[in-house]
Structure 1
């Protein structure tokens, strides 16, 4: 190597510098390395070394355990501090107000403002009470001491009088003093160990809270640890969503998308309910398609997780998560299994919804489309409907089963007719019934017009005129009829015609099929019937053919139900304002157990007059709006809490467990809304309740479609 030669100062620019030979014996020196050259390399080496140290430390079990348990205690302290702060301040109210404000829900913002005001008022009152108590404490202590001493002295006098010994006057007081001494002695013995153990107890409590909430870093958790929790809170839901493998959702999370909770995760029935506004490019359909993975991430079975989209909130994920195992437990016995009668015009109990609430199957002004593959439990719902209807002696039932099965054989004594088989003669018999129904619907419509009513058949009318009595006609395995080469086209036309016109005439139809394609069902039948029930379905086309177009896309899908496992469980529409999961009652008829025949015998006895039906049916679903109106009476308004107390007095069985939230839910569903007086207190308005009842009755009259 050679030294670097620098041109002399007087050398002109651009003049070449001649090579100057080295003097003999001059030592060769290395080229000096500058700091700028060595610093990046040294820094990289240090960073790599530090990274290796960190990785090795993370992999070391002792270090991971130290970090994990330390994080548990720190996280537990943070969680308990936040809980205490929320309990002592309005921080929780402010947080929910911000969530509601971000979601644009002004009504919810006002509600949380009211709750925050009520909390501050109650807190101020408590503080004033404590201050007043501190002022009154000396007087109270003095009064209590004097009174207690007087009582003890009086007892001593009585004891001395009885024993004829004046020394017994002070015996009660001495006994109390001795007792206080023993308490002080025991406290002195226990106090010091307790005092020394308090820090350990506090640390153990912090550790337990932190461990339950998984506050340690993921890499520090045990090798077999799982950060998932059975409680689907906001954090658990976000973790579950982030691991669905949905590219637009993952991209939004990487870009810093923050969740907007329309409704934070709250307890609802026997599960949890939350509503989350999804980011752009992530429709609810994407979440619904990943339902099995979502359920796994939330430590649930697919049947226990239902991601849907509300009708009035586009882009919002409505997530309901059941408690583990609650939807696989047996359904309670059918309420009418051993006694009771029904009223066709009020409905019958047929199922429970996902929250464990009873579902009433309406019969008047109703028609049913029920579908599901073999073994999914369609017959459980049909049997509950028919047995309930039989317990009204006015009802007449005809059944056509275009197959050979024995589901309806136990009910034969109470049926007006039962025709089974899939031969041409059975198809012809079903066609004759359809044609007769078309004529019957027209005749009843003319009769209603003749008597001057444009509403519908009533019970009084049916009791007075046998020709207007309620009728139920069942067409099971109906795909055999609609796909028949000779009669299929006419059958579809008649089915639509009768279904559209029968709603006011007390004629109810049940269309039942395992197939749900265009060839098996008339076009538009799902739009015409009032109740649509899908048990286990193989594909989303069949799901939408039953429940309606777009239902699978919005998360209302029966494709995740499994025949043979989720027996009697279905996705249904028409039983409430929004579709939802139902679990049918199961009235058993199998080897060694026959629950159907006793019910049929009771129904036959009622029909034949052996045991006349009471004036009012033994079973009648509660009419919440009518009960509220009855509690109000002639009062134009009443405090909400007073209405709740009145409902509990009126029907303790139905309303005994109701809270103000339950009453508010009914009022909101009815469109009552918030109603306050000048004092700011919540009231219930009689006019609004009566308007809601009138609107509901009008909707029932208009339900089921009109003939086009």
Structure 2
């Protein structure tokens, strides 16, 4: 023992005595052991474990054999240990009694059956739900039968008792007669012996009975203690030592671990409360909640939940978690109460289950579609009817995946028509092209113009939808109305990389104006808008638009300002933050697919989106096409265009080269998909079919306005001749 500056705790194996405290200074030196006048008493030898409290690894132990003088812990520490022991016994007994009460209540009210029925309903498992309902009905019928048979059973037992008594009396009579006839003894001797034995039994009972009121409660308490040991668990501040309760960090966030974490947050008002003897009141003791634990504790005066939220990284560290695994909030109905949910370590990593609609099932625009799971493992339904979406996150964080999942679910509803505009070049939505009404991608002006035109047309279409609702005498679109009237079919418009639209120098202001008007008025008309951007700000996702957007999702984001631009001002301060999420990188997947959501559930929280690969998306789209064909729903036709008239309009009085005309036509009629895919060569071939021969002057193929006007005049003359 060459560590004079260390403190040791010796825990004796196999004994229930409190730990012994040993310091090198407390052991007598060798020259003192032989000093005159000292009693020749051998030093005690203790087999035990030495716990080095200042080691880097808490709880590290070393098996040793210690020879030397020892001293017990201070008397105050022993008193506290005794108090904790007493509290532990009482709490264990209480847990045992509670277990009996719960089991009795469950038996009386079919509690097991009720819980299984609720679980099956929450999971949407109809087969399990039907099975447990049937089991409960059988159990109720069996209990009813037993209760109905009870009076008959009592009568039967009474008859049996009477028969046994009569039989016993008859046997005794026969035996007594036999004894008398044999001359062994008087016949009454048999009855006297039986009565004497019965009297002895009653005497023994009378002797023991005074002890029953004392022994019975003790036996009952012992039984409750054993039951509590079987089903319960003590909080660390009771079960651990004083030193462990003050400084320990446990992966199970029970009441003791939570108090330890709060004690070490370095919040002055909270520290003052602890020093002043604050005794926390746990509104909700720690209980299992999904893939984690939940606790509610009433905070002391001068300590707000917001103070705790600001210290979330430290709180998570104290609870041996990452910040995204700890969620401190304040319940709406319990002001001043910290509602703390702590995920299991690693609960937010690993793959999510397959998307529920991946292999079968249909979508329902009016009921919503599965888009994500919460951190408790429950499937979250993304509303589409009367909902709009704002989605943001760094590149590689998973925002397009959320849109694709929601859109695939919507396309499995045969009534839905969807338009997708991507202000970038990518193939994310290509598998859905056969089922989409419009798919335009790219950084060119034609995509922005087509998107703006679609928003304007959709806003104008609200008048048509409003008149249709008036005709049907309805206030909002329903599935029944959408099935009867094609004018009321649900529409979804996706604008990915929307910053290119709202920040466009020429069209940005107009796009914002029409988007706000459309989103404000479209709620009951079955129109859903979805906006997504990697750089949320007041310019890329204008506040006017986000203020009326119902569902907001923020994936991994860089800073507080960007976080609040999508989730709302003050969200970061309130703990509603995605700043701690990591995007996908070359080093690993990070938190891809995990996002902070507002509007998806009653309270904001982390969700993990489902993932559908492009190959899987193609299979889902094929199923969606079959579902639509089987339902007999035809795609809404796009407005027919006249190529010659459109050419006359874009040319005006100016000559244009053939290669420039497809872009001009696309800008002129952005909703007409054939123009978006048209090339100069294809245009020349189509004009030739219409009898218009474009000269190849210098291989530039000039198109003159007179040439197009002549073709229109010739066609009109031919139409007149045909009519005559």
Q: TM-score, normalised by structure 1?
A: 0.58
- Range moving further from structure 2, 491-500 or 306-315: 306-315
Q: Secondary structure at the match of 2:390?
A: strand
Corresponding residue of 2:625: 604
Correspondent of 2:314 among 283, 293, 296: 293
Please give the residue correspondences for 1:352-363 in structure 2 after superposition, counting only pairs within 5 Å. Answer: 352-363=373-384
Is the CA contact (8 Å cut-off) linking 2:421 and 2:495 kept in structure 1? yes
Please give the residue correspondences for 1:342-491 in structure 2 after superposition, counting only pairs within 5 Å. Answer: 342-453=363-474, 455-491=475-511
Correspondent of 1:514 among 531, 534, 538: 534
Is the CA contact (8 Å cut-off) linking 1:309 and 1:554 kept in structure 2? no
Is the CA contact (8 Å cut-off) linking 1:536 and 1:570 kept in structure 2? yes
Is the CA contact (8 Å cut-off) linking 1:441 and 1:502 kept in structure 2? yes
Superposed CA deviations along residues 135-181 of structure 1, whole A, max 9, x for unmatched, are x9xx99x99xx99xxxxxxxxxxxxxxxxxxxxxxxxxxxxxxxxxx
**Alpha-carbon shift at residue 553 of structure 1 (Å):** 2.3
**Alpha-carbon shift at residue 503 of structure 1 (Å):** 0.9
Whole-angstrom distance in 1 between the partners of 2:426 and 2:336: 45
Whole-angstrom distance in 2 between the partners of 1:216 and 1:472: 58
The 1:552/1:387 distance shift into structure 2, 3 A limit, reads same
Q: Secondary structure at the match of 1:595?
A: helix
Corresponding residue of 2:520: 500
The 1:309/1:545 distance shift into structure 2, 3 A limit, reads farther
Correspondent of 1:272 among 293, 301, 305: 293
Whole-angstrom distance in 1 between the partners of 2:234 and 2:297: 26
Whole-angstrom distance in 2 between the partners of 1:321 and 1:540: 23
The 1:524/1:84 distance shift into structure 2, 3 A limit, reads same
Corresponding residue of 2:279: 258
**Alpha-carbon shift at residue 87 of structure 1 (Å):** 2.8
Corresponding residue of 1:45: none
The 1:501/1:358 distance shift into structure 2, 3 A limit, reads same
Is the CA contact (8 Å cut-off) linking 2:390 and 2:549 kept in structure 1? yes
The 1:532/1:299 distance shift into structure 2, 3 A limit, reads same
Is the CA contact (8 Å cut-off) linking 1:64 and 1:220 kept in structure 2? no
Is the CA contact (8 Å cut-off) linking 1:72 and 1:209 kept in structure 2? no
Corresponding residue of 1:83: 92
Whole-angstrom distance in 1 between the partners of 2:356 and 2:382: 13
Is the CA contact (8 Å cut-off) linking 1:65 and 1:220 kept in structure 2? no
| Larger RCO (CA under 8 A, 6+ residues apart) | 1
- Range moving further from structure 2, 226-235 or 404-413: 226-235
Whole-angstrom distance in 1 between the partners of 2:256 and 2:502: 50
Residues 1:573 and 2:593 are matched in the alignment? no
**Alpha-carbon shift at residue 284 of structure 1 (Å):** 2.3
Q: Secondary structure at the match of 1:524?
A: helix
Whole-angstrom distance in 2 between the partners of 1:377 and 1:398: 21
Correspondent of 1:320 among 312, 325, 341: 341
Corresponding residue of 2:652: none
Is the CA contact (8 Å cut-off) linking 2:22 and 2:71 kept in structure 1? no
Superposed CA deviations along residues 621-646 of structure 1, whole A, max 9, x for unmatched, are xxxxxxxxxxxxxxxxxxxxxxxxxx
Whole-angstrom distance in 1 between the partners of 2:433 and 2:439: 7
**Alpha-carbon shift at residue 328 of structure 1 (Å):** 1.4
**Alpha-carbon shift at residue 523 of structure 1 (Å):** 2.2
**Alpha-carbon shift at residue 360 of structure 1 (Å):** 0.8
Corresponding residue of 2:671: none
**Alpha-carbon shift at residue 499 of structure 1 (Å):** 0.7
The 1:486/1:53 distance shift into structure 2, 3 A limit, reads same
Whole-angstrom distance in 1 between the partners of 2:426 and 2:376: 33
Q: Secondary structure at the match of 2:522?
A: helix
**Alpha-carbon shift at residue 598 of structure 1 (Å):** 0.8
Q: Secondary structure at the match of 1:546?
A: helix
Whole-angstrom distance in 1 between the partners of 2:461 and 2:333: 39
The 1:283/1:209 distance shift into structure 2, 3 A limit, reads closer
**Alpha-carbon shift at residue 212 of structure 1 (Å):** 7.5
The 1:283/1:490 distance shift into structure 2, 3 A limit, reads farther
The 1:608/1:298 distance shift into structure 2, 3 A limit, reads same
Is the CA contact (8 Å cut-off) linking 1:400 and 1:476 kept in structure 2? yes
Gaps of 5+ in 1: 1-50, 94-135, 148-201, 614-708
**Alpha-carbon shift at residue 419 of structure 1 (Å):** 0.8
Corresponding residue of 1:530: 550
Whole-angstrom distance in 2 between the partners of 1:489 and 1:547: 22
**Alpha-carbon shift at residue 504 of structure 1 (Å):** 0.7
The 1:74/1:315 distance shift into structure 2, 3 A limit, reads closer
The 1:67/1:209 distance shift into structure 2, 3 A limit, reads farther
The 1:402/1:59 distance shift into structure 2, 3 A limit, reads closer
Correspondent of 2:610 among 570, 574, 585: 585
The 1:323/1:216 distance shift into structure 2, 3 A limit, reads closer
Q: TM-score, normalised by structure 2?
A: 0.56
Q: Secondary structure at the match of 1:365?
A: coil
Corresponding residue of 1:633: none
Whole-angstrom distance in 2 between the partners of 1:359 and 1:568: 14
Whole-angstrom distance in 2 between the partners of 1:316 and 1:513: 36
Corresponding residue of 1:305: 326
The 1:313/1:538 distance shift into structure 2, 3 A limit, reads farther
Whole-angstrom distance in 2 between the partners of 1:298 and 1:79: 23
Superposed CA deviations along residues 171-227 of structure 1, whole A, max 9, x for unmatched, are xxxxxxxxxxxxxxxxxxxxxxxxxxxxxxx9xx99x98998784546589xxx982
Whole-angstrom distance in 2 between the partners of 1:65 and 1:510: 72
Whole-angstrom distance in 1 between the partners of 2:301 and 2:25: 38
Superposed CA deviations along residues 276-308 of structure 1, whole A, max 9, x for unmatched, are 233344332332222222112112222221112
Corresponding residue of 1:35: none
Q: How many residues align?
A: 454
Please give the residue correspondences for 1:19-418 in structure 2 after superposition, counting only pairs within 5 Å. Answer: 79-88=88-97, 215-217=239-241, 227-418=248-439
Q: Secondary structure at the match of 1:576?
A: coil
Whole-angstrom distance in 1 between the partners of 2:269 and 2:524: 49
**Alpha-carbon shift at residue 549 of structure 1 (Å):** 2.5
Larger radius of gyration: 2
The 1:56/1:422 distance shift into structure 2, 3 A limit, reads farther
- Range moving further from structure 2, 377-386 or 266-275: 266-275
Whole-angstrom distance in 2 between the partners of 1:65 and 1:383: 70
Is the CA contact (8 Å cut-off) linking 1:468 and 1:506 kept in structure 2? yes
Superposed CA deviations along residues 548-584 of structure 1, whole A, max 9, x for unmatched, are 2322222222122221211111111212222222111
The 1:608/1:257 distance shift into structure 2, 3 A limit, reads same
**Alpha-carbon shift at residue 75 of structure 1 (Å):** 5.6
Whole-angstrom distance in 1 between the partners of 2:234 and 2:399: 47
Corresponding residue of 2:56: none
